[in-house]
Amino acid sequence: MASKATTANPTAPDWRAEAARLQIDARAFINGRRVAARSGETFDVLSPIDGKLIARAARGRTEDIDDAVKAARAAYESGVWSRHAPAQRRRILLKWSEKIVAARDELALLETLDMGKPIRFSQTVDVHSAARCIAWYAEAIDKIYDEVAPTPASALALIRREPMGVIGAIVPWNYPMLMASWKLAPALAAGNSVVLKPSEKSPLTAMRLAELAVEAGLPPGVFNVVPGLGHEAGEALALHLDVDAIGFTGSTRVGRKMLEYAGRSNLKRVFNELGGKSANLVFADFAELDRAAATAAGSMFFNQGESCNAPSRLLVQESIADAFVERVLAQVPRYLPGDPLDPATVMGALVDAGQMRTVISYIESGKLEGATCVAGGTTARHDTGGFYVNPTVFDRVKNSMRIAREEIFGPVLSIIRFKDEAEAIRIANDSPYGLHAAVWSSNIDRALRVAGALRAGTVHVNSYDEDDMTVPFGGYKQSGNGRDKSLHAFDKYTELKTTWIRLAAK
């Protein structure tokens, strides 16, 4: 998902004390100000660190979504942002990015309290990647040129990109700010208005992002946030007749619904970034097996395994399998879960009790289906009241088992052994998903041949998770459509306008 952390801040605050001091405002942000849900209703926001109630968020429903869409549409039609010069949009977005960095401690703490990831990564990965993403699109927007078609001399044809209108963004809880930024930044940079529905499991940072945007000069109404439940606020947004496109990141199950909602309403464009069961292929000819093993474990257990592109199927060539599994197991103790507010912790809490239940059920299913559990397989840190699962490794997994076919979204690695290249490719592609994949080989011909054969949106060679903002992110097959990141993200949030002009002959 994102690059790994660098170093922890040496002057780190006392996070427990900061958390106790934190005043959390979990109301919606519509038309430039904080508002409660029209019904006055709220939903509980529990911290997975200790299970405690940390906020009661506005429970947005149809009427609140409607308010937000109206504000977004009015802002769009006024031209206050949509017809603002690209260079001016760039300046405001860059200022926003700077404000996010300046609010780093508060945002990181909110993210960690809300969804349980280690504070060091909230700071170094989530806050910084979100800010960098916004800056990247800001920098791009006044450097992109449109097209003039190769017409006969009797005509001039302009092919221009126009903002689409009102974009609905529905984002998940695993990287709340970063996933929101991947949608918001290109959508806003292109001149659209946005209504963001954060996950009910992690709604808190989204509203702060919106406040910072307005402080940076984004006109009120251009960017609105309505927290709420998926089947209430999310469904209302996806069914709304005045929303032009939906950028969704989440489960394949809900992604299907997004397409249904579009079909049942106004055929709004739907761009889905969905699940994955990414295959990580390690060949015997790779020279640095220690690095491959460290990455196989590190990318799997990063973010508690709650990453859509986690390399959750590790395919290892039989001739090196025993030795390689041993190397992977040697990495496991580094990822034992700890207190997310401790800057030394590298694996934190799963997002909530339901996710822990799901992960435990998959672990049980792996055991019952005959895979060998060689590490973990248990819950941890019971004294905290939070939701922790030990890093878990299954060896001798068959690709037909549920733990190889279904996305677990937890720290569970399934190791599958293969004989040769053809079998490796066959197993890797035998999946309903096609998000990421990796191939580790010192033979460049093989590496490129396999990379070409893998049906996945991104293939890493001799690495994992090192990709940056410059490249697209998205999937083949049931992993979705459309791409986040890179200039290709603009394809989702702009319409192509052809203007054909007849030129009179002299």
Partner 1 sequence: MFGDVPMVVLYNRYFDAIRDQAGCLPIPLPCTGAEDIDAYLALADGVMLTGSPANVHPSHFGQDVHDPSLPLDPLRDAMTLPLIRRVVELGMPLLAICRGLQEINVALGGSLHQAVQEVPGRGDHRGAKGKPGALTPERYADAHSITATAGGCLAAIIGSEPVTVNSVHGQGIDQLAPTARTEALAPDGQIEAISIASHAGFSLALQWHPEWQAGDNLVSQKLFFAFGSACRDWQARRAR
Catalytic residues, by residue number, are 273, 308
60 binds partner 1 (CB under 8 A): no
Please work out the total of residues on this chain that contact partner 1, with binding judged by CB under 8 A: 30
357 binds partner 1 (CB under 8 A): yes
CB of 232 to partner 1, least distance (A): 9
CB of 50 to partner 1, least distance (A): 4
Q: 159 near 146, Cβ under 8 Å?
A: yes
Of the CA atoms within 13 Å of residue 231, those in its CB half-sphere come to: 1
Contact string (CB under 8 A) for partner 1, positions 215-234, x = contact:
--------------xx----
DSSP classification of residue 310: -
CB of 41 to partner 1, least distance (A): 7
**The tokens of 57 are what?**
């968020």
Interface region with partner 1, contact rule CB under 8 A, candidates 202-210, 249-257, 350-358, 397-405: 350-358
Task: Kindly tell me which residue out of 50, 111, 407, 465 binds partner 1, with binding defined by CB under 8 A.
Answer: 50
Considering only residues 25-44, where is the footprint of partner 1 by CB under 8 A? 41, 43-44
Interface region with partner 1, contact rule CB under 8 A, candidates 96-104, 209-217, 352-360, 410-418: 352-360
Q: 451 near 460, Cβ under 8 Å?
A: no
Give the C-alpha separation, 119 to 217, whole Å: 29
Give the C-alpha separation, 69 to 194, whole Å: 8
Considering only residues 383-412, where is the footprint of partner 1 by CB under 8 A? 383-387
Task: Kindly tell me which residue out of 253, 382, 502, 506 binds partner 1, with binding defined by CB under 8 A.
Answer: 382
CB of 357 to partner 1, least distance (A): 6
Task: Kindly tell me which residue out of 6, 14, 16, 52 binds partner 1, with binding defined by CB under 8 A.
Answer: 52
Minimum CB distance to partner 1 smaller for 221 or for 340: 340
Task: Kindly tell me which residue out of 102, 353, 422, 471 binds partner 1, with binding defined by CB under 8 A.
Answer: 353
**The tokens of 299 are what?**
């990318």
Task: Kindly tell me which residue out of 19, 46, 164, 206 binds partner 1, with binding defined by CB under 8 A.
Answer: 46
379 binds partner 1 (CB under 8 A): yes
Long-range CB contact pairs, 178-182, < 8 A, 24+: 178/1, 178/2, 178/125, 178/126, 178/129, 178/130, 178/133, 179/249, 180/130, 180/205, 180/206, 180/209, 181/129, 181/130, 181/133, 181/134, 181/209, 182/133, 182/249, 182/473, 182/484, 182/485, 182/489
Minimum CB distance to partner 1 smaller for 381 or for 485: 381
Look at the alpha carbons of 72, 73, 75, 76 in this order and tell me if their dihedral is positive or negative: positive
Q: 213 near 223, Cβ under 8 Å?
A: yes
User: Which residues on adjacent β-strands are paired with residue 45?
Assistant: 55
Give the C-alpha separation, 428 to 475, whole Å: 14
DSSP per-residue codes, 168-237: EEE--SSSHHHHHHHHHHHHHHTT-EEEEE--TTS-HHHHHHHHHHHHTTPPTTSEEE----IIIIIHHH
51 binds partner 1 (CB under 8 A): yes
Minimum CB distance to partner 1 smaller for 12 or for 336: 336
CB of 381 to partner 1, least distance (A): 10
53 binds partner 1 (CB under 8 A): yes
Footprint of partner 1 (CB under 8 A): 41, 43-44, 46, 50-53, 200-201, 229-230, 352-354, 356-357, 360-361, 363-364, 377-379, 382-387
